[in-house]
Amino acid sequence: MDPAPATGRHALHLSVQVALDQPPPPAQAVPSRQRLRAWATHALLGPVDATLRVVDAEEGLQLNQDFRGRAYATNVLTFPYGDDGQGVLQGDIALCWPVVCREAAEQAKPVAAHCAHLLVHGLLHLQGLDHLEDDEAEAMEALEVQILAELGFPDPYQLRQTHEPIPHG
């Protein structure tokens, strides 16, 4: 898929589920559904109908193990289901909240900034973008940086240390 500039003018239906075993401390609170939807709107390349599920470490591990064969919880997983027959892409995105919070602390980023980045990253995956090849990674990262700048967040790749080179998706 050829990435078009993000405009935020496409239709979005985003269901948000928060399935945490215990509420995080206030500094690590999950952003409001309204804020998550606002961020997601900026990452649309076309109409999307998706569910965002914020999960605990146990569910994050289970999902990553079941669907990627990896025995650890990762920050974001995307499950694209394709088109509904009317041009609306459908899928699920899972954010593993303890991993999101841990990575934000390790990278000295606000939790909200890291969450916005991973939500944008997951939505771009849902819409067919990937980072398996170097040229794909460059294009996807550039689009993420553009979208995050529109949202008022700094370039997440300039802040990157040697931790996760590119979020999992």
Task: Give the separation between CA 82 and CA 74, rounded to whole angstroms.
Answer: 23
Q: Which CATH code for domain 12-150? A: 3.40.390.30
Q: Write down the pLDDT at residue 108.
A: 93
pTM for the model: 0.88
CB 79 within 8 A of CB 67: yes
Per residue in 113-167, pLDDT (tens digit) is: 999 999 999 999 999 999 988 898 999 999 999 999 999 999 999 855 444 444 5
* Helix residue ranges, H only, 7-133: 33-42, 57-68, 97-106, 111-126
For residue 55, the cross-strand partners are: 19, 96
Q: What is the mean predicted confidence (pLDDT) over 66-93?
A: 96
Of the pLDDT bands very low, low, confident and very high (cuts 50, 70, 90), residue 95 is very high
Per residue in 9-35, pLDDT (tens digit) is: 689 999 999 999 899 999 999 999 999
